[in-house]
C-alpha cells in the first residue's frame, strides 16, 4: 500500500492527504471498478502517444488536428501542455495548428530549452507557410520567460509573434482582480466601437 501512496503523490495536484483518500476509496469500492481503472491506465499508456509533429496527445500519428486539411496551417498556437489544446478547442474559435512545449523553462528545476520542444517548433516555422505564432504559455513567471525566449528565437524567421490578451474575466468584479491582471488589462485595452 505504501508504494501506491508514493506513486499517487507523484501525480500533479495530489498530496499525501489526497493520495490517502484515493487509496481508501480504491480499497472500499467494488473490485470491478478497480480492475476497470487498472485496465484503463494500461490501455492509456499503450495507445496514447505524442503527435510527432505538434506533441499533442493522440492515438494516431499525426494527430487529428495536424491531419485536418481544413485547419489554417499558417497559424501555430504554442501551449505548455498538450491538454491545454483541449480547452482552446472547446471554444470552437481557433482553427489553426498547435505546438505543445511539454513544459516551460525553469532553471531552478533544471528545465532548459533542450528539455522542451522549442527546436521542433523552430523547424516547423523554417519549413515555411507559417504566418503567425501565438505564444499561449501560462501567465506565470516561467510562462512569460518561456514566451520571451521563444519570441527571441523566432525573431530572425520573419514570422508574426503574438500573445493572447489577458485581463479581467467576463463576469468578474474590478475590485477582486489582482494588481498584475489589472495592469495587463489596462495595457491591452481596446477601443469601444
Q: Which fold has domain 71-162?
A: Dna Topoisomerase Vi A Subunit; Chain: A, domain 2 (3.40.1360)
Q: Which residue has 478547442 as its cell numbers? A: 89
For residue 21, the model assigns a pLDDT of 95
Q: What's the burial of 170, exposed, middle or buried (CB within 10 Å: 0-12/13-18/19+)?
A: exposed
**Helices in 16-61 by DSSP H: which ranges?**
16-28, 31-47
- Per-residue pLDDT tens, the chain, 193 aa: give them: 889 999 999 988 899 999 999 999 999 999 999 999 999 998 888 899 999 999 999 999 999 999 999 999 999 999 999 999 999 999 899 999 999 999 999 999 899 999 999 999 999 999 999 999 999 998 888 999 999 999 999 999 999 999 988 777 777 777 777 887 778 777 777 776 6
For residue 168, the model assigns a pLDDT of 74
Q: Rounded to an integer, what distance in angstroms lies between the CA atom of residue 189 and that of residue 22?
A: 45
- According to CATH, where is 3.40.1360.10 located in the chain? 71-162
Point out which residues pair with 106 in neighbouring strands: 111
pTM for the full predicted model? 0.79
Amino acid at each position: 500500500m505504501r508504494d501506491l501512496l508514493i506513486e499517487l503523490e507523484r501525480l500533479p495536484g495530489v498530496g499525501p492527504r489526497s493520495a490517502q483518500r484515493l487509496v481508501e476509496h480504491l480499497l472500499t469500492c467494488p473490485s470491478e471498478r478497480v480492475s476497470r481503472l487498472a485496465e484503463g491506465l494500461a490501455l492509456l499508456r499503450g495507445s496514447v502517444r505524442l503527435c510527432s509533429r505538434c506533441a499533442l496527445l493522440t492515438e494516431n500519428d499525426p494527430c487529428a488536428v495536424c491531419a485536418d486539411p481544413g485547419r489554417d496551417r499558417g497559424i501555430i498556437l504554442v501551449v505548455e501542455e498538450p491538454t491545454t489544446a483541449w480547452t482552446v478547442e472547446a471554444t470552437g474559435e481557433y482553427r489553426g495548428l498547435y505546438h505543445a512545449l511539454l513544459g516551460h523553462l525553469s532553471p531552478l528545476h533544471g528545465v532548459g530549452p533542450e528539455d522542451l520542444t522549442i527546436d521542433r517548433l523552430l523547424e516547423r516555422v523554417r519549413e515555411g507557410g507559417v504566418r503567425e505564432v501565438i505564444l499561449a504559455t501560462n501567465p506565470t513567471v516561467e510562462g512569460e520567460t518561456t514566451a520571451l525566449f521563444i519570441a527571441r528565437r523566432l525573431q530572425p524567421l520573419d514570422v508574426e509573434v503574438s500573445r493572447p490578451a489577458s485581463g479581467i474575466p467576463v463576469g468578474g468584479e474590478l475590485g477582486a482582480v489582482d494588481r498584475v491582471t489589472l495592469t495587463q488589462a489596462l495595457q491591452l485595452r481596446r477601443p469601444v466601437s
